Structure 1
Amino acid sequence: MIQVFRSSWALLFGIFLLMGGNGIIATVLGLRGALEGFSALQMSVVMTGYFAGFLGGSSMTPAMIRRVGHVRVFAALGSFISAALILFPVFTDPWIWTALRVLVGFCFAGVYVTAESWLNNASTNETRGSAMAIYGVILTAGIVAAQWFVSLGDPSGFLLFILPSILVSISFAPILLTVTPAPAFETAKPMSFVEVFRASPLGLVGMVMMGGIYSALFGMASVYGTEAGLTIGQISTFVAAVYLGGMVLQFPIGWISDRADRRLLILLVSAFGAGGAVLAALGIGGYYGLLAASFLIGGTANPLYALLIAYTNDYLDAADMPAAAGRLVFANGLGAVAGPLFTGWLMGQVGPEGFFVFIFGLMAALAAYAAWRMTRRPAGSVEDSGVYLAAVPAASPVSVAVFQEAAAEAAEEAAEEAAEDSAMAAS
């Protein structure tokens, strides 16, 4: 781990600043939208723009990198992000905001693809898994730290829009000035959706559901807070609790995942997430009950993303794991585009509690589908399951592909060790 920090500290620090800026603007837009009189449905359209842009950017950035190189793509997209962030308070119209969110989402996807490619290139086979796990923690920590800045600012002014623009601009300096050379960009030929579904129906369907849950949490949490009448400080703490839960519970759940039936674990973790949504929707425990429920929801949502990837890998050949990454991430992106829209519609129908009703619905559906899939085929051997790697939904397809490559390498090493043991036993 020390070796990872020594070789990649500039990249990781830049990514932390980058995610800080992204975390600030995601929360502030919900607060400012309420001040401008935007409805929950209008804000859901605005927030959906980010995920639509992110989906497009994830698909198109590799071709851009191959055409003009990492540095030019990184600098160009970063400039667009900085400019877009300070335009939000200038043009307070929901349709202009939606267009800006599409642009910001597209550019952030491209920046993440570029940064993750560099991080992958700076890692060795021995440190790659640790590097990407640290990267996931840095992403989450950036969002959590961002909420502290939000709690100190005034969403009716310009400061909370200028600050993320500054953070994003500064974040490029350590990344672009690092001595690590820009890598050649390569992508594996993806599997078809049909092939991935045949290998793991629960994995593919679950990734769509998780996209909806994550986009609701990232895009609509502050909208819920304003609709529920929370103060700015309470909203920022509420949002931070969601991501702290994900950061704290990711690794314990991952440890259990390597030692238990993953379908059963997916069922149980989803059920706990659904239970947290029920507690929050009913207002049990007041504000502190809301924080505890949010911690539980975030602490189940992030690990579920990685759990579904690990479970899918259990039914793939090692050579197919990197090829499946693109389809899994795209499926997640489709769910992410729909998530804020359905959340906003439900909030318009039943009030602020619609935010948690939506999360409950998807968590409960995932638990029920996992239970049904357990009746369709027998569980695989725990000893034969692959390793759990702490992927996070905020990352780009490059990150997931790297995790898949690490999982494939681990699977091949395990197969070689098993073959050696068999040969020794036979002799």
Structure 2
Amino acid sequence: MLEVLKSSWALLLGLLLLMLGNGLQGSLLGVRGPAAGFSPLEMSVVMSGYFAGFLFASRMVPGMIRRVGHVRVFAALGSFVSAVLILFPAFPDPILWTLGRVVLGFSFCGVYVTAESWLNNAATNETRGKALSAYMIVQMIGIIAAQALLVVPDVSGYLLFIIPSVLVSISFAPILLSIQPTPAFDSTKPMTLRQLYGVSPLGIVGMFLLGGVFAAQFGMGAVYGTAAGLTLGQISIFIASFYVGALLLLYPLGWLSDRMDRRVLIMLIAITGGAAALVAMLFGHIFVVLVGAALVIGGCSNPLYSLIIAYTNDFLQPEDMAASSAGLLFVNGVGAITGPLIVGYALQVIGPPGFFMLIAALLLLLALYAAWRMTRRRAPSVQDTAHYQPVMPSAGLVAVEAAREIASENPKSTGDQAA
């Protein structure tokens, strides 16, 4: 790990600043929107815009990079991010905020893909796994630390919007001044969804359901906190708890998944997260219970993302894994777009408990589907499965591809089986 930090510290520092800016803007809009008179349903549309932009970018940015290069794409999209962030307080309108979130989602996705390309290119075959792990840790630390900035006094109403804009602008310096020669960028045509479902039904269904869970946490957590009457300090602790839980459990659960039927572990983790959401739905008025539930939900949902990718790879030949990664990300993105919309409707009709009701429903549905899939066929032997490699839902396509490359280094004999 020290070798990775020595060779890529500037890239990781830039990515940390990016995550600080991104983590703050999501929570900040969730607090400021209701204060500006936006209804929960309007806020859900605003928050969905980010995931729509992210989804579009995952399909379009590779072509942009091939046409004009990494540096130009990174600089252009980074400029959009910085500009949009400081425009939000000047135009407090749901439609304009939604358009701004689409631009942010598109731009952040493109920036991540570009930065991940440089990081992946700087790593060797021996250090790629450690580099990806460092990237995942930096992402989580950035989002957690960003929540502390939410309580910065903001008398003018603009300061908290300026801070993420400055952080994103500063992040360009260590990245652009430290990059090695621009890496080649190749993209693989994704499998059709029908083909991917034939390979792993649990992968498709699980990714869709998890998309809604992640979007609820990242996009609507602050909206829930505002509706529940939490203070800014409590909202920052509540949102940070999701990612602290992920940081604590991402690796231990991954270690366990390499030693048992992944479907059993997926089912058990989903049940645990769903149960924690039900507890929060019933006793969310007790802040300690709320924070504990967020820790458990985050600690369950984030590893599930990596587990489902690993489980799908267990039934693929190495040459097919790249095509499946793009398909899984697409399905997850569709789920992420719909998640905030359902949460917003639930908050408006049911009230604050509707936030956790949706999370519980999605995770328990995932557990039920995993249990049903176990009745349809037997799992491959543990010796035939690829190693688990942690990936955060906020990561771009290149990070997922890097995890795929690491997994493909393990020979498998189950590629012709269907999950």
Q: 2:200 aligned with 1:200, yes or no? A: yes
Residue equivalent to 1:387: 387
Residue equivalent to 1:424: none
Verify the 8 A CA contact 1:212 1:338 in the aligned structure 2.
yes
Residue equivalent to 2:417: none
Residue equivalent to 1:8: 8
Assess, with a 3 A threshold, how the Cα gap between structure 1 residues 285 and 339 changes in structure 2: closer, same or farther: closer
Q: Tell me the distance in 2 between the aligned counterparts of 1:296 and 1:337.
A: 23
Offset of residue 312 of structure 1: 0.4
Offset of residue 196 of structure 1: 1.4
Verify the 8 A CA contact 1:190 1:323 in the aligned structure 2.
yes
Could you tell me which runs of 5 or more consecutive residues in structure 2 were left unpaired when the two chains were aligned: 415-419
Verify the 8 A CA contact 1:31 1:155 in the aligned structure 2.
no
Between stretches 221-230 and 120-129, larger displacement belongs to 120-129
Verify the 8 A CA contact 1:35 1:156 in the aligned structure 2.
no
The residue correspondences of 1:226-375 to structure 2 (distance < 5 A) are: 226-283=226-283, 286-375=286-375
- Quick one: which amino acid aligns to residue 114 of structure 2? T
Assess, with a 3 A threshold, how the Cα gap between structure 1 residues 155 and 408 changes in structure 2: closer, same or farther: farther
Residue equivalent to 1:186: 186
Verify the 8 A CA contact 1:8 1:122 in the aligned structure 2.
yes
Between stretches 189-198 and 353-362, larger displacement belongs to 189-198
- Quick one: which amino acid aligns to residue 116 of structure 1? E
Q: Tell me the distance in 1 between the aligned counterparts of 2:329 and 2:194.
A: 15
- Quick one: which amino acid aligns to residue 204 of structure 1? I
Offset of residue 41 of structure 1: 0.5
Verify the 8 A CA contact 1:322 1:402 in the aligned structure 2.
no
Residue equivalent to 1:65: 65
**Residues 121-165 of structure 1: CA deviation (Å, up to 9, x unaligned):** 011111111111111111111000001111223387111100000
| SS of the residue 2:357 aligns to | helix
Q: Tell me the distance in 2 between the aligned counterparts of 1:39 and 1:155.
A: 24
Q: Tell me the distance in 1 between the aligned counterparts of 2:265 and 2:154.
A: 42
- Quick one: which amino acid aligns to residue 315 of structure 1? F
The residue correspondences of 1:78-97 to structure 2 (distance < 5 A) are: 78-97=78-97
| SS of the residue 2:37 aligns to | coil
Q: Tell me the distance in 2 between the aligned counterparts of 1:363 and 1:410.
A: 30
**Residues 228-262 of structure 1: CA deviation (Å, up to 9, x unaligned):** 00000000000000110011110010010001110
Offset of residue 378 of structure 1: 1.1
Assess, with a 3 A threshold, how the Cα gap between structure 1 residues 196 and 382 changes in structure 2: closer, same or farther: same
Offset of residue 179 of structure 1: 4.2
Verify the 8 A CA contact 2:23 2:142 in the aligned structure 1.
yes
Q: Tell me the distance in 2 between the aligned counterparts of 1:234 and 1:61.
A: 37
Offset of residue 188 of structure 1: 2.2
Q: Tell me the distance in 2 between the aligned counterparts of 1:34 and 1:151.
A: 17
Q: Tell me the distance in 2 between the aligned counterparts of 1:410 and 1:7.
A: 26
Offset of residue 411 of structure 1: 2.9
Offset of residue 343 of structure 1: 0.6
- Quick one: which amino acid aligns to residue 389 of structure 1? Q
> TM-score w.r.t. structure 2 length?
0.97
Verify the 8 A CA contact 1:21 1:146 in the aligned structure 2.
yes
Residue equivalent to 1:19: 19
Q: Tell me the distance in 2 between the aligned counterparts of 1:154 and 1:34.
A: 16
The residue correspondences of 1:83-232 to structure 2 (distance < 5 A) are: 83-154=83-154, 157-232=157-232
> TM-score w.r.t. structure 1 length?
0.95
Q: Tell me the distance in 2 between the aligned counterparts of 1:144 and 1:238.
A: 10
Q: Tell me the distance in 1 between the aligned counterparts of 2:338 and 2:210.
A: 11
Verify the 8 A CA contact 1:28 1:155 in the aligned structure 2.
no
| SS of the residue 1:9 aligns to | helix
Assess, with a 3 A threshold, how the Cα gap between structure 1 residues 226 and 284 changes in structure 2: closer, same or farther: closer
The number of residues matched between the two structures is: 414
- Quick one: which amino acid aligns to residue 21 of structure 2? G
- Quick one: which amino acid aligns to residue 296 of structure 1? V
- Quick one: which amino acid aligns to residue 381 of structure 1? S
Verify the 8 A CA contact 2:274 2:359 in the aligned structure 1.
yes
**Residues 374-422 of structure 1: CA deviation (Å, up to 9, x unaligned):** 000012211211100001100111111111111112236x99xxxxxxx
**Residues 153-190 of structure 1: CA deviation (Å, up to 9, x unaligned):** 33871111000000000000000000422211111232
Between stretches 373-382 and 42-51, larger displacement belongs to 373-382
Assess, with a 3 A threshold, how the Cα gap between structure 1 residues 117 and 261 changes in structure 2: closer, same or farther: same
Verify the 8 A CA contact 1:84 1:100 in the aligned structure 2.
yes
Assess, with a 3 A threshold, how the Cα gap between structure 1 residues 376 and 155 changes in structure 2: closer, same or farther: farther
| SS of the residue 1:87 aligns to | helix
Q: Percent identity?
A: 56
